[in-house]
Chain A
Amino acid sequence: MKKLTFTRIFSQLLLLLFVIAWIIPTFGLFISSLRDKDVLAISGWWTSFTTTEVNEIYRTKGKEDQINEGDYYFIKSNLFDEKQGKEIYRFGVTSKNIDEYEVGETALFKDETEITVFENGDYIWKSKEEFTKKKGKRIFVSAKSPPSFTFDNYKEVLLKEGLGQAFLNTFAVALPATLIPLIICSYFAYALTWMKFYGRDLLLATIIASLVVPLQMCLIPVLTIYNDFGALFGVSAKSYPGIWMAHTGFGLASTTFLLWNFLKTLPSEMIEAARVDGATHYDTFIKIVVPLSIPSFASIFILQFLWVWNDLLVGLVFLDKHPSEIILTAKLKELLGSRGENWEILTTGAFVSMTVPLFIFFSLQRYFIRGLVAGSVKG
Chain B
Amino acid sequence: MAKVNLKSVKKTYDKTEVIHGVDLDINSGEFIVFVGPSGCGKSTLLRMIAGLEDITEGEISIGGEVVNKIIAAERGVAMVFQSYALYPHMTVFDNMSFALKQAKTPIDEIKSRVLESAKILQIESLFERLPKQLSGGQRQRVAIGRAIVRNPKVFLFDEPLSNLDAALRVQTRIEIAKLHNQLAATMIYVTHDQVEAMTLADRIVVINQGIIEQVGTPIELYNSPKNQFVAEFIGSPKMNMINLKNGHKLNMTNLNIPSGATKIGIRPEHLNVSNDNSSKLKGTIRHIENLGEHLLCYINLEKNNEITAKLDVNSSIKINENIHLDWHQNHQHFFDSSGVSID
Contacts and interface: CB of A to CB of B under 8 A. Distances in A.
A38 interface: no
Interface in A58-99: none
Contacts of A278: 73-74, 99, 102-103
Interface stretch (A144-152, A160-168, A301-309, A370-378): A370-378
Interface stretch (B126-134, B198-206, B215-223, B327-335): B126-134
A246 to B, nearest CB: 35
B89 A267 contact: no
Contact of A378 (B73, B74, B84, B103): B84
A249 interface: no
B132 A374 contact: yes
Nearest to A290: B89
A288 interface: yes
B21 interface: no
B103 to A, nearest CB: 6
Given A277-B99, A278-B99, A278-B103, A377 B83 contact: yes
A112 interface: no
Contacts of A269: 81-83, 85
B4 to A, nearest CB: 15
A289 to B, nearest CB: 10
A270 B52 contact: no
Contacts of B86: 270, 273, 375-376
A328 B309 CA distance: 84
B265 interface: no
Interface string B57-89: 000000000000001111001110111111111
B186 to A, nearest CB: 16
Contacts of B84: 376-378
Contact of B102 (A279, A372, A374, A378): A279
Nearest to B132: A375
A292 B85 CA distance: 13
Contacts of B132: 374-376
Interface string A27-40: 00000000000000
B45 to A, nearest CB: 15
B50 interface: yes
Interface string B118-141: 000000000000111110100100
B229 interface: no
Interface string A261-281: 000000101101111111100
Given A276-B51, A278-B99, A374 B88 contact: yes
A144 B179 CA distance: 88
A291 interface: yes
Interface string B89-102: 10000000011001
A165 to B, nearest CB: 41
A376 B52 contact: no
Interface string B136-154: 1001000000100010000
A327 to B, nearest CB: 37
A74 B51 CA distance: 103
B78 A283 contact: no
A276 B88 contact: no
A372 B103 contact: no
B88 A273 contact: no
Contacts of B83: 267, 269-270, 376-378
A267 B132 CA distance: 15
B98 to A, nearest CB: 5
Given A267-B83, A269-B83, A376 B88 contact: yes
Contacts of B51: 275-276
Nearest to B150: A277
Given A269-B81, A292-B88, A378-B84, A276 B163 contact: no
Contacts of B50: 276
Given A269-B83, A283-B102, A276 B52 contact: yes
Given A375-B134, A376-B87, A275 B72 contact: yes
Contacts of B150: 277
A256 B289 CA distance: 58
Given A269-B82, A283-B102, A376-B84, A275 B73 contact: yes
Contacts of A275: 51-52, 71-73
B73 A273 contact: no
A376 B146 CA distance: 14
A267 B131 CA distance: 14
Given A272-B85, A276-B73, A277-B73, A378 B79 contact: no
A274 B136 contact: no
Contacts of B78: 276
A270 B99 contact: no
Contacts of A279: 73, 98, 102
Nearest to B162: A378
B216 to A, nearest CB: 29
B267 to A, nearest CB: 35
Given A275-B73, A277-B102, A279-B102, A375 B85 contact: no
Contacts of A375: 86, 88, 130-134, 139
B330 to A, nearest CB: 44
Given A374-B88, A376-B85, A376-B88, A276 B77 contact: yes
Contacts of B71: 275
Nearest to B77: A276
A270 B72 contact: no
Nearest to A374: B132
A51 B215 CA distance: 95
A267 B84 CA distance: 10
Interface string A359-379: 000000000000011111110
Contacts of B81: 269, 272-273
A372 B51 CA distance: 28
A276 B87 contact: no
A377 B74 CA distance: 26
Contacts of A287: 98
A372 B89 contact: yes
Given A277-B98, A283-B102, A377 B85 contact: yes
Interface in A12-57: none
Given A277-B98, A277-B150, 4 more contacts: A270-B83, A273-B86, A277-B73, A376-B83
8 contacts: A270-B88, A272-B72, A272-B85, A278-B73, A292-B88, A375-B86, A378-B84, A378-B163
Interface of A: 267, 269-270, 272-279, 283, 287-288, 291-292, 372-378
